[in-house]
């Protein structure tokens, strides 16, 4: 449930005439009000958002309190008074509440964009580091392979020269 659906339920209440429908709408309003209050409670745990949460919650509570007289007028059958109250309260309380929500969403969006940029930067740094380490490993591995093969081939060359010397009759070869 969100604030706009709460407001829509209030408008339905004004338009409803059937007592059972009014009862159902009032039950919906109570459930939505409780859901909204619970949503604010869960958000209060984020310290950096505490000020915005409290401001938004206070504006919501102000709207709920002020619009209750409109629902009472609707329940009493004074639909014109109920409409007038809800329209007035909408301008005076609901619009500032919506603005507070929009400000909060904008701040959260900005924080999300910053977190995304940080993640991209970290990923880019990790990729660069990985490529540099891979290049160092390839160069190091190539150098080791070169010197190892050179060492082996040098020993094999000495063995070949000694074998050729022995073949020519010089048995005094050192390897």
pLDDT at site 56 = 86
64-76: average pLDDT: 93
12-16: average pLDDT: 93
Tokens of 49: 């958002």
Calpha distance 133→99 (Å, rounded)? 51
Q: For 89-141, write each residue's pLDDT tens digit.
A: 988 999 999 898 888 888 888 888 999 999 999 999 999 999 999 999 999 99
Q: Are the C-beta atoms of residues 128 and 120 closer than 8 Å to each other? A: no
Q: For 16-65, write each residue's pLDDT tens digit.
A: 989 999 999 999 999 998 888 777 766 665 666 777 788 888 899 999 99
**Model confidence band, residue 1 (pLDDT cutoffs 50, 70, 90):** low
Q: Are the C-beta atoms of residues 62 and 36 closer than 8 Å to each other? A: no
Whether this prediction's pTM lies above 0.85 is answered by: no
DSSP 44: T
Tokens of 173: 């070869």
Residues 6 or more apart whose CB falls under 8 angstroms from that of 11 comprise: 86
Calpha distance 167→174 (Å, rounded)? 14
């Amino acid at each position: 449930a969100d604030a706009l659906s709460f407001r829509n339920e209030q408008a339905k209440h004004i338009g409803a005439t059937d007592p059972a429908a009014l009862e159902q709408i009032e039950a919906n309003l109570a459930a939505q009000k409780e859901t909204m209050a619970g949503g604010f409670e869960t958000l209060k745990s984020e310290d950096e958002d505490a000020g915005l949460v409290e401001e938004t919650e206070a504006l919501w509570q102000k709207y709920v309190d002020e619009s209750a007289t409109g629902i009472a007028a609707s329940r009493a059958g004074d639909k014109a008074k109920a409409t007038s109250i809800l329209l007035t309260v909408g301008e005076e309380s609901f619009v500032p509440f919506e603005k507070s929500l929009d400000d909060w969403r904008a701040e959260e969006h900005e924080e999300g964009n910053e977190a995304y940029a940080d993640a991209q930067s970290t990923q880019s740094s990790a990729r660069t580091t990985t490529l540099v380490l891979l290049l160092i490993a390839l160069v190091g591995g190539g150098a080791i392979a070169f010197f190892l093969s050179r060492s082996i081939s040098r020993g094999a060359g000495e063995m070949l020269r000694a074998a050729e010397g022995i073949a020519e009759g010089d048995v005094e070869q050192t390897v």
